[in-house]
Copies of this chain bind each other. A is one copy, B any other.
Amino acid sequence: MSNDRKTPTMADIARVLGVSPMTVSRAFKADSLVSPETREAILKAAEELGYVFDSTAANLRSQKSGFVAVTIPSINNANFADTVGGLSDTLAKRDMQILLGYTNYDIDEEERLIEQLLRRKPQAIVVTGGTHTERARRLLQTVAIPVIETWDIPADPIGHYVGFSNRAVMRDMVDHFVSLGCRRIAFIGGDVARDSRGSERRLGFVAAMQAHGLDATRLIAAGSPPISMREGANAMAKLIDLYPDTEAVVCVSDLAAYGALTECRRLGVPVPERFFIGGFGNYEIGEVCVPTLTTINVFAREIGVRTAQLILDILDDIQPAGDVGISPQLIVRESSRR
């Protein structure tokens, strides 16, 4: 073959048709002024030449990347996946694309990631949580694009936020168990260090217990966050061993709660007759398992959709809606019904 030359550019199309490169450029923008016949000829020639539009060059010139950078703790988590789905779908309507990175629940890794993502010149950046390294904060404060923190209500927001208080939300769960007459309530979560949302929930649990004048020392550390189902199961075994008279267990996530549930089943301990169990995050497993799981719906997808809308408003210079508070909702299911 003789056509193994380098990939064609707009200039090649222009030459073939005897028009200027500028006209070719216009033909690729839906709204710009080109006669229908010219546009059609250009698009046809492009297809024939195997032309592929080069966003890199376009972005450099126009100083708009079409990217929104997003960092999440883990790709392997249905909640964050839902948020990303909501973000992605909403931004796609405006031809914006997500540039995704995983921090692995590590703020140092987050710092590296943020630095790397900013080099791609995103038009906005979305981070999960409100806890960052000093340097990461500085980077985000300095950068001249919208910054949105999600899944949290930061004490000192960098820019905007779309989220809820992981601490306050535990109040509803504890109140629920207390209203059922429970007094000896335990918490299963991860080791403190890494997952700040998880530790906020633990703190929220403690605060809520104390508000009821109850003892808040039955805290089982199940391992390094995020906690797996297996670790939830192990923690439940430990809990039954340490505090056999516990009446209810609050878990940091539905996955841990499901693990706890299976451990009870294996040990022949009936739920909800012997223990009540509550989870967090409204994962699919919670509405299918036996018994179904009491949980908290945090509207993960909604967080993504609202974040995307906020970004689009800011970029459109529409008076931004400001920060968005999400109100998580307690869902009572079989695992905590008498």
Q: Does A14 contact B (CB under 8 A)?
A: no
Q: Does A78 contact B (CB under 8 A)?
A: yes
Q: Does A318 contact B (CB under 8 A)?
A: no
B85 touches A81 (CB 8 A): no
Give the interface segment out of A161-169, A281-289, A309-317, A322-330: A281-289
Selected contact of A284 from candidates B7, B99, B229, CB within 8 Å: B229
Q: Does A53 contact B (CB under 8 A)?
A: yes
Name the B residues within 8 Å of A57 (CB-CB). Answer: 60
A75 touches B84 (CB 8 A): yes
Q: Report the nearest B residue to A116, measured CB to CB.
A: B97
Name the B residues within 8 Å of A60 (CB-CB). Answer: 54, 56-57, 60
Q: Does A144 contact B (CB under 8 A)?
A: yes
B288 touches A258 (CB 8 A): yes
Q: Report the nearest B residue to A289, measured CB to CB.
A: B262
Name the B residues within 8 Å of A259 (CB-CB). Answer: 288
Q: Does A59 contact B (CB under 8 A)?
A: yes
Give residues in A with beta carbon < 8 Å to B: 7, 50, 52-57, 59-60, 65, 75-76, 78, 81-82, 84-85, 88, 97-102, 116, 118-121, 142-144, 228-230, 233, 255, 258-259, 262, 265-266, 284-285, 287-290
Given A56-B65, A75-B81, A76-B82, 19 additional A-B pairs, CB 8 A: A52-B118, A53-B119, A54-B60, A56-B56, A56-B60, A56-B120, A56-B121, A75-B84, A76-B81, A76-B85, A88-B102, A97-B116, A100-B100, A229-B284, A255-B284, A262-B288, A262-B290, A266-B290, A289-B289
